[in-house]
Amino acid sequence: MDAIKYYISLPFIYLISLLPFWFIYRVSDFVNFILFTVIGYRQEVIATNLKNSFPEKTEEEIKTIQKKFNRFFCDLALETFKSLTISKKEALKRCKFKDTELLDKLYSEKKKVIFVLGHYGNWELGGAGMSAQSNYQLYVIYHPLTNKYFNQLIIKMRTRLGTKLISMNNTFRKMVALKNSEEISATAFIADQTPSSKNAYWTTFLNQDTPVFWGTELIASKLNYPVIYIKINQVKRGYYEMTAEMLCENPKDTSKGEISELHTKRLEKDIIERPEFWLWSHKRWKHKRVQ
């Protein structure tokens, strides 16, 4: 059954990938209408997440954010398909660093680093853009899909411009091996996924009790890699700008929970500024704090 789903979907995915960007956005507008207006995909989840995160906003303001997110979500999905065939030149044009001074300095010092980011902006084009213009060898932590056919497609999509992947369950082992190698690497953690409520750092994020993966903090502290926050901001439809900001230069000197708090609050700041670019359809708050 997995193979059937894959081979039925594959021609449509590649067809979308080969379309010019201007046409992709016409398709995206149509998909937006069908998915959200006709079908109503996860509209209750999105609305609830927004209301709980912004209790001070009016019903009209929540609806406006929701409509903007719906449009962006469809753009994000189709832009992700586009990354299957995008050229290096086009990736650089669509998603570029605003300033590489910090990364250039760290690279010149041969410092391996950790990138931390959230599901904000287009992280798929961001990965392609980083690999295309940074001196660092980029590694991205990923969660393998259960469908092995689509999993191979995702691997192909994310690695074709030079990014390398590390399976989530092999993260620490691989990073220890990288520490002892000559390669100057940057390892990217998307740190706003939902961990088990029992083994998590708990904080207040967007006005709600929220569990956060310990992994980013524990590995950064163990290896003492500088932690760099990456923001991927939409400049206009189809174009993104990345910024790199030092969050923690010496993780081994931090107290427990400090790094987790730093990257969570930094992401929160971006979401509050432009909420439509975060993944509101995700059931981020499905776990309750264990007392």
Residues of the chain above pLDDT 70, percent: 99
- Whether residue 291 is contained in a domain is answered as no
CB contact at 8 A, 88 and 133: no
Residue located via tokens 């990345």: 242
Residue 285 maps to a domain: no
- 146 within some domain: yes
Would you say residue 170 lies in a domain?
A: yes
Q: Please check the confidence at residue 290 and state whether its pLDDT lies above 80.
A: no
Q: Specify the pLDDT at position 291.
A: 61
Residue 290 lies in a domain: no
In a domain, 282, yes or no: no
The neighbour count for residue 40, using CB atoms within 10 Å, is 9
Torsion of CA 96, 97, 103, 108, to 10 degrees: 60
Instruction: State the average pLDDT for the chain.
Output: 94
Nearest to 167 by CA among 215, 98, 222, 124: 215
Q: Is 153 domain-assigned?
A: yes
Distance between CA atoms of residues 122 and 28, nearest Å = 15
203-227 per-position pLDDT tens digit: 999 999 999 999 999 999 999 999 9
Predicted confidence (pLDDT) at residue 30 exceeds the cutoff of 90: yes
Summarize pLDDT for 95-133 with one digit per residue, the tens: 999 888 999 999 999 999 999 999 999 999 898 888 888
Say how far residue 35 (Cα) sits from the centre of its chain: 22
Mean pLDDT in residue range 11-31: 95
Average pLDDT of the residues in 272-289:
93
In a domain, 289, yes or no: no
Whether 23 has a pLDDT exceeding 90, the answer reads: yes
The answer to whether 206 and 268 are in contact (CB under 8 A) is: yes
Overall number of domains in the chain = 1
72-90 pLDDT, tens digit per residue, is: 999 999 999 998 999 989 9
* pLDDT score, position 127: 87
Is-above-0.85 flag for pTM?
yes
| Burial of 282 per CB tally in 10 Å (0-12, 13-18, 19+) | middle
Q: Which domain holds residue 261?
A: 2-277
Percent of the chain exceeding pLDDT 90 equals 83
